[in-house]
Amino acid sequence: MDFGSFDRRQFLAGGGAAFVCTLAGHKLFLDQPADLPKLASGVRVPPKVAAAEGPAQTRFVSDVSTAAANAQRQYWIRAEERRWDIVPTGRDEMMDKPINGKTRFPAYVYRAYTPNFGQPLGNGRIPGPLIRANVGETVAVHFQNRLSVPVTMHPHGIFYSDEMDGAYKGKYTDPGGFVQPGRTFTYIWTARPGTQGLWLYHDHGPLDPVPLYKGLFGPLIIRDPSQPRPDVEFFLFMHSLQPIATNLDRLFGCFNGRAYAGNTPTLRAKVGQRVAFHVVALDNDFHTFHLHGHRWTDTDGSVIDTKTMGPGESFTFEFTENDPGRWFYHCHVFSHLHMGMNGWYIVS
């Protein structure tokens, strides 16, 4: 079988049509597109959310102005829809063949802006913008929803109070767990000692997990400023784009919203540089990240070249580059590899 060209029937036969969840009384399956606006219309606005919202479209729905003003790190991020091409070159460079069929869909993306949402800082992408903090700092994320459905931002690793969780909790939901279209909410998170490392953030709103499947996730890194920084670092999300989110006829295995070498990020480093890979797994599957021609020391002290990761897990590894060439990085689950979860690492 050509794993790179699954259609809906093959996807179903291969077990891909797994039941995901029930939203607003509707059962959702991975091989069937979800109508998010329709689903959202069946979700009741939680009482705390309704009570907090006034008529102004840009009103902050949480009284956190003092904490936000004192935060050392300030971010302005919007959730927007963007037309996204999963295979912009139209080719798989690993197998040197064309990828036929439709590869574009209306993605959901987090997009960074200058203060007070003045100007966009580049195009919205999958994954969203990198959120950085040093140990001891407070982060204020001013989040604005420009989608047609309620979404949120939920972080891993960093500390926050329960109303800053960014999670939908049914009738107990705080305003930050149900940011309605056109509304803005400010999240306050604190990078306490012990939180240093690679984390992530993603939508955890009332339509979870479909907005996440459409691209609403991004990296969060907390650093110890006393430790040296790598010369070059890469942030990679291992995930899939499936018909439930794309309304396309096939599943794509992705790094950072793209599928197949030549479309996924082409990573570059030089001999002698200290290189850091930051890797996240974020869909329904387990993945195994493998880098050709390289190995690193795992947290238990063993030397490895492949790391198994479950959904929502993240890890970082570093090494001093000494091996020039054109190398593959990929998921070692072979069906994922041949559905596009592979890319180039080029060392000069």
Whether residue 127 has a cis bond before it, omega within 30° of 0? yes
* Encoded amino acid at 114, one letter: T
**Domain range annotation of the chain:** 5-347
Residue type, 229: R
- CATH T-level fold of 5-347: Immunoglobulin-like (2.60.40)
Q: How far apart are CA 167 and CA 206, in angstroms?
A: 8
The answer to whether the Cα torsion of 29, 235, 88, 113 is positive or negative is positive
3-state secondary structure of 13: helix
What pLDDT band is residue 91 in, cutting at 50, 70 and 90? very high
16-33 b/e (C-beta count within 10 Å ≥ 16 → b) = bbeebeebeeeebbbbeb
At residue 54, the pLDDT reads 58
Task: Give mean pLDDT, residues 132-152.
Answer: 97
Single pTM value for the model: 0.91
Q: Using CA atoms, how far apart are residues 294 and 112, in angstroms rounded to an integer?
A: 34
Give residue-wise pLDDT tens across range 251-305. Answer: 999 999 999 999 999 999 999 999 999 999 999 999 999 999 999 999 899 999 9
94 contacts: CB under 8 Å, gap ≥ 6: 260, 261, 328, 342
Average pLDDT, the chain: 91
- Which amino acid is residue 218, in one-letter code? G
- Decide if pLDDT at 191 tops 90: yes
CA distance 181 to 208: 16
